[in-house]
Amino acid sequence: MMKSKPSSRNLVRRGLLFSIFITFLLILGCSSSITPTYLKEDIPQAIHDILKKEYNIEIKARLIGRTIWIYLPVEELFEKAQKPEKYTEKFMVKQNECKLETGSLKVQYAINVIPQEEKAQDVKYRKEVAEQINNVWGVVRRVLFSMKCLKTQEPQFIYLVIADIKSGFEIRQLSYYQDLKKVSYNFISTGEYHHRTVQDINFLPQLIGDKEGAYLKYIDFSLEDFVTQQIQYRLKLKFQKPEVEQNADIDKEVMKIVVYTIKTYGLKDFDEAQLNNLATNNKVSLSRAAIWARPTD
């Protein structure tokens, strides 16, 4: 007797259930085995050992609360770009500050429209350094995705410091662990992930020759720290290498950033957001409920 073929509806249902199952496994992002490959307290040593053994990369790693600190000392961080990245400067960001205090998220900014001028980013990561950074992030994913699945204990942030111990320049990258999962499994784009990873560059003479990261002050970042820093970073990206035209409503664009970031990370430990445009003296205050009621553009 011939077996009846499954209906199209059943095939769709099975496919949907399978997709949900796979998505569920991916979101877990860590080992489901009874004995996990790595425990939380073993993470820094595991990252160090794998990078040393497989890539001959020396790093220093620490776990402070729920923040993993990784210090990567290099020499000659940058090199001249053969094809400089060109962009048009349209705004001057004179002030850019976001902080959360006494229940109020305060955003102060001064952004002026300036005559358009073509600029060029004429330096880039040296190839060997770029490979080291990629290897560090690859090992971080490998270790974190194989750790014990305890939501309340898993790391929340990864803080990578790439220090040029020859010149004194450093790059700092603060990433949210859930964002690392999402970009790894294509739930967010690489471009969006780069906007979510707060990056800063500094010149600090005290780091010259420091292979241990002794100059660093290790802290455990909170969600509030991360959200306020990301708002500042997104504002800088939007107006320094502009993602908007000169006729854009600056206050409206800043509001979009604030609303999007708060809602993306579910920040609710505040009463209101105060936006203060120091260039025009325009001030806007919105309650937490009003922010959550606004659409995300």
Predicted local confidence at residue 290, as pLDDT: 95
The mean pLDDT value of the chain amounts to 88
**Could you tell me the two tokens for 140?**
């971080």
Which residue has better confidence, 209 or 15? 209
39 and 172 belong to one structural domain: yes
Domain harbouring 148, CATH code:
3.30.300
Looking at 217, 243, 261, the residue that finishes a domain is 217
203 located within any domain: yes
Mean pLDDT computed over 181-203: 96
Look up the domain containing 244 and give its range.
89-120+230-293
Mean pLDDT computed over 154-168: 96
Predicted local confidence at residue 60, as pLDDT: 98
The residue among 202, 199, 203, 204 whose CA lies nearest residue 226 is: 199
107 and 50 belong to one structural domain: no
Tens of pLDDT, residue by residue over 2-29, are 344 444 444 334 443 333 333 333 444 4
Predicted local confidence at residue 163, as pLDDT: 98
5 located within any domain: no
264 located within any domain: yes
Tens of pLDDT, residue by residue over 238-268, are 999 899 999 999 999 999 999 999 999 999 9
CB atoms within 10 A of CB 1: 3
Q: Assess whether pLDDT exceeds 70 at residue 273.
A: yes
**Could you tell me the two tokens for 13?**
């249902």
15 located within any domain: no
Q: How many residues does the chain have?
A: 297
Please state, for a pLDDT cut of 90, what percent of the chain lies above it: 80
CA distance 285 to 288: 10
Looking at 169, 195, 217, the residue that finishes a domain is 217
Q: Assess whether pLDDT exceeds 90 at residue 1.
A: no
Predicted local confidence at residue 26, as pLDDT: 41
Predicted local confidence at residue 138, as pLDDT: 96
CA distance 52 to 50: 5
Predicted local confidence at residue 22, as pLDDT: 34
Tens of pLDDT, residue by residue over 104-115, are 999 999 999 999
Band of residue 35 on the pLDDT scale cut at 50, 70, 90: low
66 and 193 belong to one structural domain: yes
Looking at 217, 251, 267, the residue that finishes a domain is 217
Q: Assess whether pLDDT exceeds 70 at residue 71.
A: yes
Predicted local confidence at residue 195, as pLDDT: 97
188 located within any domain: yes
Q: Assess whether pLDDT exceeds 90 at residue 37.
A: no
Total domain count, the chain: 2
Predicted local confidence at residue 4, as pLDDT: 41
245 and 273 belong to one structural domain: yes
276 and 138 belong to one structural domain: no
175 located within any domain: yes
16 located within any domain: no
The residue among 272, 271, 273, 261 whose CA lies nearest residue 297 is: 261
Residue labelled with tokens 């307290």: 41
Predicted local confidence at residue 192, as pLDDT: 97
137 and 235 belong to one structural domain: no
144 located within any domain: yes
161 and 68 belong to one structural domain: yes
156 and 42 belong to one structural domain: yes
Which residue has better confidence, 193 or 5? 193
Predicted local confidence at residue 36, as pLDDT: 60
